[in-house]
């Protein structure tokens, strides 16, 4: 499905990614954990070419690319397969929820408008917004706006959806509704790579957890491996600091 090899990325003299390798199989829900500044978001942005890596290769199904020198044609092909959910929603304020979803279908995928509207409504229905087709972002809560962002990603029928801390901009009481939608999508077999601080989501939904720090993958494994039997001292330190006292892992 997706194999990332030896990604490096620097901003000026700051080396953010230092040779990251990740493999994701079809149907995987992979969660990346780590402290701020560990390179998690930069990794996602390099995978989708929102940032250009300094070095690295990626295999997207049958498409293999050099992440530094990929052509516009290669990037376009990959973006046809990969959808991105941003932490700050990235909606068009002058467009309705439905228009925000259909824009990429009509402009990017050249799908006829009537068909795009049909797909857009089904996608909004899937995230629980069947009554908000005509609502503008200013009329929606943060959680609803993020659900529009997820519907937009789902509507593209991608091979994989990348989530960049999708709940970090939300008020605490709105986090649950977005996580519930993400869980439902995961249960349908959608392949997902999720950067998040939501430990319960990683525990309950992911089949692989990756811990990053300092621009490298420190440790990866099943949720049980990471939360119950972390091998690396840095992973243990991080979990002790961030896990709530009532956090338990049920085998």
Q: Which of 160, 189, 195 is nearest to 82 (CA)?
A: 160
What pLDDT digit, counting tens, does each position of 161-205 carry? 999 999 999 998 899 999 999 999 999 999 999 999 999 999 999
Torsion 85-87-90-91 (CA) sign = positive
Whether the predicted model's global pTM rises above the 0.85 cut: yes
Assign residue 73 a region (left: φ > 0; alpha: ψ between -120 and 50; beta: otherwise).
Answer: alpha
* Mean pLDDT of the 95-123 span: 96
Summarize pLDDT for 26-65 with one digit per residue, the tens. 999 999 999 999 999 999 999 999 999 999 999 998 899 9
User: What pLDDT is recorded for position 250?
Assistant: 63
What pLDDT, on the 0 to 100 scale, is given for residue 122? 97
> Cβ of 152: how many Cβ atoms within 10 Å?
27
* Of 62 and 119, more confident: 119
DSSP H/E element including 220:
strand 216-221
Q: Enter the tokens of residue 40.
A: 């998690």
Least confident of 122-126, 192-196, 198-202, 244-248: 244-248
Q: Which residue has the higher pLDDT, 137 or 245?
A: 137
**CA dist 120 → 23, 92, 155 (Å):** 31, 15, 6
**Residues 10, 77, 152, 174, CA torsion sign:** negative
């Amino acid at each position: 499905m997706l194999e990332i090899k030896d990604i490096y990325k620097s901003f000026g003299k700051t080396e953010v990614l230092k040779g990251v390798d990740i493999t994701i199989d079809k149907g995987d829900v992979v969660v990346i954990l780590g402290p701020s500044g560990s390179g998690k978001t930069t990794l996602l942005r390099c995978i989708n070419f929102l940032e250009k890596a300094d070095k690295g290769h990626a295999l997207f199904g049958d498409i293999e690319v050099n992440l530094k020198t990929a052509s516009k044609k290669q990037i376009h092909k990959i973006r046809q397969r990969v959808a991105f959910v941003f932490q700050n929603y990235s909606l068009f304020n002058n467009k309705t929820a439905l228009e925000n979803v259909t824009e990429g279908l009509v402009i990017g995928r050249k799908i006829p408008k009537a068909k795009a509207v049909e797909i857009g409504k089904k996608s909004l229905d899937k995230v629980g917004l069947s009554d908000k087709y005509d609502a503008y972002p200013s009329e929606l809560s943060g959680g609803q706006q993020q659900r529009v962002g997820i519907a937009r990603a789902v509507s593209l029928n991608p091979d994989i959806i990348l989530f960049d801390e999708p709940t970090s901009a939300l008020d605490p009481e709105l986090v649950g509704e977005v996580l519930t939608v993400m869980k439902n999508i995961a249960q349908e077999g959608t392949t997902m790579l999720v950067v998040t601080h939501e430990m319960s989501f990683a525990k309950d939904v992911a089949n692989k957890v990756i811990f990053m720090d300092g621009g490298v993958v420190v440790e990866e494994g099943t949720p049980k491996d990471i939360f119950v039997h972390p091998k690396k001292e840095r992973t243990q330190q991080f979990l002790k600091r961030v896990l709530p006292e009532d956090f338990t892992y049920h085998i």
